[in-house]
């Protein structure tokens, strides 16, 4: 009788623990990052804007230097979110994967937070933190700091696979490396435009609420681009094997 009672108490304890863990996981999945809540607020001038161009992420571009070949552009996270809230679902709904809704961004100094609502087996608000930079001309590096579903960390391997597939579909050259356990995507950008000039990206700077990009143009002569071998930069820190799940912040 005593043994039966002990077994019953142990089983009850296990069931209670599993129920508590499940409730905690459910509550954690319902967490909404503060930046995402703020970014979801409707723009005050969206409804009053009479021209569709005002709903797109306006880029301010200027040329610098005596040769007129340097360029610089900037746009704010508010402008990006106007585009994501209005133009993207209305005019380009095919861009978003199935089950992904209401993407939004928040730009802070040195990093950008990206959030979206995902529906499926586990519905939650996903948030991704990245640090973009340009290690050398026309190569964009994207360091992935963390990804979460609600308040729960998500294995970064899923992000790596998704980015690799997107780059393959876009016919972009992509290589991966690690810095302090964080995966870094190195993307070589296309160099030639329709006018026979190469637009080269030299820097990306993330300020508070704003991203600033700059670069220069190169004349390609006959319009035939020279093929150069893509070589990833040397890691700035020692590489670490394995995934980065334990380093979620």
Give domain limits for the chain: 31-223+231-247
pLDDT over 50 (residue 55): no
Residue 169 has what pLDDT? 82
Question: Mean of the pLDDT values across residues 100-118?
Answer: 93
- Written as one string, the DSSP assignment of the chain is -HHHHHHHHHHHHHHHHHHHHHHHHHHHHT---HHHHHHTSPPTTTTT--SGGGGS---EEEEESTTS-EEEEEEEHHHHHHHHHTHHHHH-GGGSPTTEEEEEEEEETTEEEEEEEE-SSS-EEEEEEEEEEEEETTEEEEEEEEEEETTEE--HHHHHHHHHHHHHHTT-EEEEEEETTEEEEEEEPP-B-TTSEEEEEEEEEEETTEEEEEEEEEE-TTTPPPP----PPPPSS----S-SGGG--
pLDDT over 70 (residue 15): no
pLDDT over 80 (residue 10): no
Predicted confidence (pLDDT) per residue in 138-153, tens digit: 999 999 998 998 888 8
Residue 103 has what pLDDT? 93
pTM score above 0.85: no
Residue 24 has what pLDDT? 40
Predicted confidence (pLDDT) per residue in 180-206, tens digit: 989 999 999 887 666 667 889 999 999
Residue 62 has what pLDDT? 53
Predicted confidence (pLDDT) per residue in 216-236, tens digit: 988 776 444 444 444 555 544
């Amino acid at each position: 009788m005593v043994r039966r009672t002990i077994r019953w108490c142990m089983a009850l304890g296990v069931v209670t623990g599993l129920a508590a863990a499940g409730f905690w996981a459910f509550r954690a999945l319902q967490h909404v990052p503060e930046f995402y809540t703020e970014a979801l607020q409707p723009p005050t001038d969206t409804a009053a804007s009479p021209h569709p161009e005002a709903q797109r992420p306006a880029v301010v571009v200027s040329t610098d230097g005596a040769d007129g070949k340097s360029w610089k552009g900037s746009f704010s996270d508010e402008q990006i979110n106007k585009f994501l809230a209005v133009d993207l679902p209305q005019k380009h709904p095919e861009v978003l994967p199935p089950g992904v809704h209401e993407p939004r961004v928040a730009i802070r100094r040195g990093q950008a937070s990206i959030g979206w609502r995902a529906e499926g087996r586990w519905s939650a608000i996903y948030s991704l933190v990245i640090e973009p930079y340009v290690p050398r001309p026309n190569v964009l590096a994207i360091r992935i700091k963390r990804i979460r579903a609600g308040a729960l960390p998500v294995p970064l391997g899923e992000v790596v696979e998704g980015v690799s597939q997107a780059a393959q579909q876009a016919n972009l050259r992509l290589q991966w490396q690690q810095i302090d356990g964080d995966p870094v995507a190195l993307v070589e950008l296309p160099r030639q435009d329709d006018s026979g000039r190469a637009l080269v990206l030299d820097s990306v700077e993330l300020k508070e609420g704003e991203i600033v990009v700059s670069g220069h143009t190169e004349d390609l002569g006959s319009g035939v681009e020279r093929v150069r071998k893509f070589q990833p930069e040397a890691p700035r820190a020692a590489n670490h094997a394995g995934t980065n799940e334990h380093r979620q912040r």
